[in-house]
Amino acid sequence: MTTDTTLTAEQRARLSVSLSVLLPRTDAIAHEFCAIVEHANPTLRLHMPGNEQIIREGIEHMLGSVCEDDQSEQIARHFAQLGSQAGITESDLPVLLASIQTAIAETAGYTWTDALEDDWTQWFDQFTSWAIQGASLGESQAA
């Protein structure tokens, strides 16, 4: 993971522009994400909702929070806690989030650039960190 996860104004602008391509394609992103996870780790896929519509809505919320750190952090922690309730472990979170990023890149097609890859990676690093914190918090509250 990157050590400095603070996005610059330029990076936030690129991410925001990329959302105009990505948000209308959340169905395709969700489908690609499920296929990636099912191929890479079928057991992990069993812990996820079977209905891709639910996954699509989650991805849509996540993408919609990209330019708002407070909202992103809240969503990351919430996703981790929901995942924990479904049997997804803290160590599964980086795999799942990397799979979402891969699905986003595949769906973005020709609009995906090296700079955008770096920006999304930095954002996903921070989101993953928040999700892991949320999973840890959920586990400590359950104990």
pLDDT band at 2 (very low <50, low <70, confident <90, very high): very low
* Predicted confidence (pLDDT) per residue in 98-141, tens digit: 999 999 999 999 999 999 999 999 999 999 999 888 877 655 55
What are the contacts of 131-134 at 24+ separation with CB within 8 A?
Answer: 131/76, 131/77, 131/79, 131/80, 131/93, 131/97, 132/80, 132/90, 132/93, 132/94, 133/77, 133/80, 134/76, 134/77, 134/78, 134/79, 134/80, 134/81
* Predicted confidence (pLDDT) per residue in 15-67, tens digit: 999 999 999 999 999 999 999 998 988 888 877 877 788 899 999 999 999 98
Q: What is the pTM of this model?
A: 0.84
Which domains can be identified in the chain, with CATH numbers? 16-142 (1.10.490.10)
